[in-house]
Structure 1
Amino acid sequence: MVNPIPPGIKKIWDNWNIRGLMLFSLSLQTFLILFAPLRKRTGHKLIIMLIWSVYLVADWAANFAVGLISDSQRDTHDNQCNSSRVPAENSYLLAFWPPFLLLHLGGPDTITAFALEDNELWLRHLLGLVFQVVATVYVFLQSFPQTKLAIPTLLMFLAGIIKYLERTRALYLASVDIFRNSMLKDPDPGPNYAKLMDDIASKKEANLPTMIILRGEHSDEKREPSTSVEHSGETSKGYVRLNDVQVVHYAYHFFEIFKGLIVDLIFSFQERNESREFFHKQSAEDALRVIEVELNFIYEALYTKVQVVHSKFGYCTRFISFASVVASLSYFYFKVKKSGFDEIDVVITYALFWGAIALDTVAFFMLIFSDWTFAVLYDPKNESKMLRKYIAATIGWFLIFKRPRCYEDKKRSCKLLATPFLLRRWSGHVPRHNLIKYCLKGRPHNFDKVRDDVYRFTEKFIPAFIGGKDNCFIGLISNGVSKFLGFFYGKVTHLINKVIDCCGLTDFMDEIRYVSHEPLAKEPWEFIFTELLVKSKSAEDPEIAKKISSERGNSILEKKTYLEPYLTKVTYDESLLLWHIATELLYHTEEEGTRHNNEDMEKGENEDNGPKESKEVTGNKHLKFSKLLSDYMLYLLVMHPTMMSVEAGIGKIRFRDTCAEANRLFTSKDLGPNEEKEACQEILDVNLYVEPVTKVKGDRSKSVLFDASKLAQELDDNEKENKWELLSKIWLEMLSYAACNCIARTQAQQVSKGGELISFVWLLMAHFGIGRQFQINKGHARTKLIVGK
């Protein structure tokens, strides 16, 4: 019988399967502790997929290695191993390795869960701990009578148990129910009604006049950060300037309050007023910095071991774990000299030891330089002002490297807020998706251009073989080659798309191929902040704030009733697609001078007379804001529909139908990539004698392509001067509506994938007191019984 596995390969596997898996497991742990934090700094799909793959393989490798070691121990003690298996003397050293795998299963501090759903499986991890402990003890007992490494094994076993328990407890604390319960305050039964009634009854029996007065409880006291932190001064615009230490301090303070957003808790009027008062005094840039750190706290609380490690108990267990590893290494160092262990296995054991120590050392430095440590160290209540200043200066020296820096981007003609990649707390980018460009890129390349390229190639090289540049065969050969290439390209593309579709990877590949990422500029964020600040100042009452959060352009349309059919009288997903296509049509048919006057705008700002906000310059700014928000909102609707409003409905179906109609038009006009302007003009050139949806399409097709064309024409006719300002405000309404009405947990999910602009808007609106989460309008009523004489 033919053996499918060659003897040489089988021998290598028998000798190196356990050794290789031990080193492989160590390398996976090293990768995770160093690169797992990258997933909060980038939204790149391939990087996130790589981290996800390593996260899953790490547990598999450790579990598989424990099984192989157990199997090798059984073979050794049953005297059934052959000469190619592990020698009996060396099996005692292999029995020393399972505690290292228990240490690996505990995972690094930088990642405990890949997704929020992993936190709900904490009970499964606890059960896995029990099974792994049993397996480790079983391997140890098989070699216990003769082993010389009982003490270091027990020490490593203790360290592994601690690590695994840390991970399980981190998952437990981040699970929804426990996370919610940890923020619930002590039950408040209110005034003692029974005792009050007894008092009233006794006074009435004594014929004493009584009266009950209800007094509302007013919160005169302020929370610590509102008054106790020394500010760095004021800017020219009157905003309070925050230094890096204060940013972390305030972010941690508001994180402790507003982390309840994730589990849909409600907040008191005192918390709302405090937050509004603070953020009304901040500049747009400082507000961005505070929210950036606050979202980073949310990420680390849900996806890392930070809640377990940052406690007195966590510090103690971490010290015990590290001390156990060092003590085990010391004991092993003195014992190994007198043993007959295999040299290679001794080297691997040392690698496991030093790897464990190195991983703990890296985790220790990450712990020291984390935002959590800085927030705890800087205590404004510290009576020693000199000590507080010293701590602030030391912390600030490290935090300065994490500060977003504003610099000029000459290519985009704007100011960007960016941080070095390895120090980012979020990606700092705004993803963009565009329907027109997507439809054009989805088509095969223009074969006429391919033919022209091939013709130029043949015109240059073929005459040397067939003689003369005027040879008629050049044209025939060019046409033939171009047609063949076009046919081949079309077939291959169609086949690849079919495979991708069958595997369910269409959306994944579309996001990689057709979504662009643009750094967040300072101006769009200032526009968003300023508009929301105005709304917040008009929403003193929580009921008004709740009403504002449910608006989709109502205030903008007060005097523009002709736009109501495109906003308030259609579903959210339909209005989003309508306004996206209309924005795109107007953008590509706008006059070149208005679209491309970035240089003139910059010159106007740098002249001696100061900044010149002409209508043209202002229109250009609002044009860029509208285009950015339009593309971003379509990206959310198509790629992350769960982050949108719960009323998004059939957005994906409507998007596909609209794309199908656009593709049909572009095919008939033979339009290809990089012809967006021509494509938009073709859409606008279609005559709209009859209503597209109500009288032609009916309800079968959900396409809104030509309804959007009608909207664009009406905007161009009625809003010639201020259409871009109107569009930018409508898009902000769309964004704020989606942020207020989304499921909160989707925001928490996205912080582990690079973060999203909508998460910043969501948290900013909560801090401004705009939203549905402020249901407690008044303080507790206190009852006072007044007895007359």
Structure 2
Amino acid sequence: MKALLHQLWNEWEIRLLVLFSFTLQVFLFFAGSFRRRNTNTVVRLSIWFAYLGADFVAIYALGFLSRQPADSTTSSSREKTHHQLAFFWAPFLLVHLGGQDTITAFAIEDNNLWLRHLLNLIAHVALASYVFWKSTGGWHNLEVLVPGIFLFVSGIIRYGERTWALKCGSLKNTEGLLVAEAKDQTQPAGVGLNRDDDACYMGVVRFALRSAPVVRNFFAGCNLVQFMATNVDQMCMFGEVGGRQLLLKIEMDMMYDDTYSKAMVLRKRAGIILRCISQVSFVVAFVLFLVLLGNKKKFSTADIAVTYVLFIGGFLVEVCATALVVMSPWTWGWLEARKYRKLARVSWFLLSKKLGRLEKRMSWPNSMGQYSIVSYMGLELSWLSRRVTWLVRKMASMVGAGKERLLWISNLMDSKCIEIDREILESVALCVDGLHSELSDGSSRQWPNLRPVLTKMQSLSMADFGLVLVFTHALTEVHLRSTYYEEKKKTAAGPDDDTQEEDASSSLVGMCRKLSNYMLYLLVSHPEMLPVTGSVDTTLEFFVRKVIEYEDGGGKVDIMRGTRKLLEDQIGLHAVQPSKETLEEIRDFWLRLLLYAAGKSRGDTHAARLAGGGELLTFAWLLMAHLEIGDSWLRRIELGDTAGGDMRPELAYVFPGASFGHA
């Protein structure tokens, strides 16, 4: 029995490896674009394992074939021919190593390693050629050799496309690529914004196509003085917030495709020609395989079935990939610019369906992270987080490491993602409009209810933006946990007017908490996106030590009571009166902090987060960049003098007495 199983495994091992490689490619094709709007950890880990495992399985299969002798050691001619047909799958493995159109890079760092992939291309092509030529016995086995040559052409082109796409996706190559795209005849030259259709999908897509080079420079962090393809007047033509949201979604969708897929390669003249050669070669190889393989009885039925699966499955994947190319905005722009009306209508029909789904769902960004300071202080840790924290502390004490910083455990266990509702996006867009108006007329935001608190916070001489976020987050959490709001929740519904007012206050409470938790989540999980200095651990530990100093209850430490005392003593929390107007100011203050962080952030950090579903901060940053606000343009936020204190001027504009102007 053991010998039988061993023989069965030896016979099916290469078949299973090749089929598994193909299965991973199919999974990556459909899941590659799905990850842009999914933040589920299980899904993302599955895609990550498939992305890494696909190359490993294909390379292992090539290595397995290279170890086999050129002619079988058995006396059965059937096993010899079976062995030769298995070697015919070597070119298919090159096609698999070429990856799928929907995912070439899992993370933005993969694009910077395109030279390594180029070396891998040369090595793997050489290995596959050696294996295939040795197994077919040179020119003596034409029934396998001839279709195999066409398969090699297709595989080499597909592998080369992947390497080329990685090079194009690297933000380091942006400047040269923009010049090349300007000269490339396949680009939608002459596609501009038409004032007659600016309210419909077509006007938005045209504007997005025209602004694509500038948007790529936004993300690359280049100097944008030379790239004035968009301007504020055109951007303001999308008067409704919904129109701007759709525009930004399209632009981020296109940027994702350019960075993490083969989209940029497949809209170049050379890329289109090579793809057509690859597809034709694949079809010719299949036809020749059917014609030249006349005596199918000398090959194993299982091997022939596996070969058919590879051919037919690969062809169906190519059909789906072609459909994705047809529904691309670039394809429609190219056809429209060259007056191919019928083809343009087909492309627009598919594209409009895609845009309709894009407008309805919150794809960019689709979620926002949430993390609270109470989790870090151990007040609302999950059961699993408490157990893991206890275990790590025990292990640290056993090895003599002392008290360990366990922020990463709390972040891993207690951070969560929630869907972004339209109210939050609209609030961000309206806040950007307000900031643009203040830049134009020189006015400044007033804070009648929060002014005493902000003035004292300004005098704290907090040199770290992260500490400002932590203090403001604690202020928000303590204020929202006040007796006033708890009683409002328990109050029975009264007249209709009172009910509407209560619903509005409840919505404001929810928005304030979401924005507060989101900014702390960015500080803990993605500090590279914020203008912070120093360690996040140090900032949080400093705040907790201050809280403990103000808690003198003896026995068990009441963290929330100590937090309230700290805030009342340091920033005058008692001066903040609970009301709807106060909630509106807390919401607006968080929005101002978000816009400040967005204006100071780097484009490459936003490009990296596109692979994770995008960030609300990216939405604000891109909208500000379109209006020429922030560090991406020479027109920047000029921070005015404060009313007093030692506050860093970079934080001045969100506090009382600050003003805006042009740099």
Distance change >3 Å, CA 94–CA 670, structure 1 → 2: same
Distance change >3 Å, CA 244–CA 93, structure 1 → 2: same
Residue identity in the other structure for 2:371:
H
8 Å CA contact retained: 2:389, 2:409? no
Secondary structure of the residue aligned to 1:117 is: helix
Q: Out of 251-260 and 292-301, give the one that drifted further.
A: 251-260
1:321 equivalent in structure 2: 278
Distance change >3 Å, CA 567–CA 299, structure 1 → 2: farther
How big is the shift at 1:596? 3.9
1:495 to 371, 380, 391: 391
1:583 equivalent in structure 2: 476
2:534 to 620, 643, 649: 649
For 2:217 and 2:204, how far apart are their aligned partners in 1?
Answer: 20
2:644 equivalent in structure 1: none
Distance change >3 Å, CA 562–CA 94, structure 1 → 2: closer
Distance change >3 Å, CA 359–CA 500, structure 1 → 2: farther
The answer to whether the aligner puts 1:520 opposite 2:402 as a matched pair is: no
How big is the shift at 1:13? 3.6
2:156 equivalent in structure 1: 161
Residue identity in the other structure for 2:147:
P
How big is the shift at 1:654? 1.8
8 Å CA contact retained: 2:219, 2:607? yes
Residue identity in the other structure for 1:368:
V
8 Å CA contact retained: 1:291, 1:763? yes
Equivalent positions of 1:3-14 (< 5 A) are: 7=3, 10-14=6-10
Task: Could you tell me which runs of 5 or more consecutive residues in structure 1 were left unpaired when the two chains were aligned.
Answer: 188-222, 233-241, 406-418, 446-487, 607-611, 672-677, 687-705, 778-789
Secondary structure of the residue aligned to 1:113 is: coil
8 Å CA contact retained: 1:507, 1:639? no
| Cα deviations by residue, 1:66-100 (Å, 9 ceiling, x for unpaired) | 1111111xx243x6x46899932222212211100
2:99 to 102, 107, 114: 107
1:266 to 202, 209, 223: 223
Task: Could you tell me which runs of 5 or more consecutive residues in structure 2 were left unpaired when the two chains were aligned.
Answer: 183-189, 637-663
Residue identity in the other structure for 2:317:
L
Equivalent positions of 1:238-637 (< 5 A) are: 242-268=199-225, 271=228, 274-279=231-236, 281-339=238-296, 340-379=298-337, 394-395=349-350, 397-399=352-354, 401-405=356-360, 419=361, 425-426=363-364, 428-440=366-378, 494-495=390-391, 510-511=410-411, 513-540=413-440, 560=451, 563-567=454-458, 569-570=461-462, 571-592=464-485, 596=489, 604=497, 620-637=506-523
2:86 equivalent in structure 1: 94
Equivalent positions of 1:144-155 (< 5 A) are: 144-147=138-141, 148-155=143-150
Secondary structure of the residue aligned to 1:517 is: strand
TM-score normalized by the length of structure 1: 0.69
| Count, aligned residues | 617
8 Å CA contact retained: 1:261, 1:744? yes
How big is the shift at 1:776? 8.1
8 Å CA contact retained: 2:167, 2:173? yes
Secondary structure of the residue aligned to 2:128 is: helix
For 2:156 and 2:495, how far apart are their aligned partners in 1?
Answer: 61
Residue identity in the other structure for 1:725:
E
8 Å CA contact retained: 1:248, 1:374? no
8 Å CA contact retained: 1:750, 1:756? yes
The answer to whether the aligner puts 1:638 opposite 2:519 as a matched pair is: no
Structure with larger Rg: 1
8 Å CA contact retained: 2:336, 2:344? no
For 1:341 and 1:505, how far apart are their aligned partners in 2?
Answer: 63
1:231 equivalent in structure 2: 197
8 Å CA contact retained: 1:111, 1:304? yes
How big is the shift at 1:286? 1.5
The answer to whether the aligner puts 1:124 opposite 2:116 as a matched pair is: yes
For 1:17 and 1:388, how far apart are their aligned partners in 2?
Answer: 46
How big is the shift at 1:387? 7.5
Distance change >3 Å, CA 661–CA 537, structure 1 → 2: closer
| Cα deviations by residue, 1:390-440 (Å, 9 ceiling, x for unpaired) | 6797356524541433xxxxxxxxxxxxx2xxxx64352222111114544
2:29 equivalent in structure 1: 33
| Cα deviations by residue, 1:40-61 (Å, 9 ceiling, x for unpaired) | 1122233222211111111111
8 Å CA contact retained: 2:174, 2:216? no
1:213 equivalent in structure 2: none
| Cα deviations by residue, 1:513-566 (Å, 9 ceiling, x for unpaired) | 31232222222222222221122123249xx8xxx9xxxx98759993663452
Residue identity in the other structure for 1:167:
R
1:743 equivalent in structure 2: 602
Distance change >3 Å, CA 127–CA 723, structure 1 → 2: same
8 Å CA contact retained: 1:428, 1:520? yes
Residue identity in the other structure for 2:610:
V
Secondary structure of the residue aligned to 2:590 is: helix
Distance change >3 Å, CA 656–CA 371, structure 1 → 2: farther
The answer to whether the aligner puts 1:757 opposite 2:616 as a matched pair is: yes
Secondary structure of the residue aligned to 1:350 is: helix
C-alpha RMSD of the superposition: 4.1
Residue identity in the other structure for 2:155:
G
For 2:148 and 2:181, how far apart are their aligned partners in 1?
Answer: 45
How big is the shift at 1:112? 0.7
How big is the shift at 1:353? 1.0
Distance change >3 Å, CA 331–CA 128, structure 1 → 2: same
| Cα deviations by residue, 1:567-599 (Å, 9 ceiling, x for unpaired) | 473120111000000100000115237854999
1:693 equivalent in structure 2: none
How big is the shift at 1:19? 1.3
For 2:336 and 2:590, how far apart are their aligned partners in 1?
Answer: 40
For 1:68 and 1:85, how far apart are their aligned partners in 2?
Answer: 21
| Cα deviations by residue, 1:87-137 (Å, 9 ceiling, x for unpaired) | 322222122111000000000000111111111111111111111111122
Identity %: 24
For 1:248 and 1:540, how far apart are their aligned partners in 2?
Answer: 28
| Cα deviations by residue, 1:469-498 (Å, 9 ceiling, x for unpaired) | xxxxxxxxxxxxxxxxxxx99878733787
For 1:601 and 1:371, how far apart are their aligned partners in 2?
Answer: 52
For 2:486 and 2:380, how far apart are their aligned partners in 1?
Answer: 30
| Cα deviations by residue, 1:296-353 (Å, 9 ceiling, x for unpaired) | 1111001100011123332222222112112111111233341411111111111111
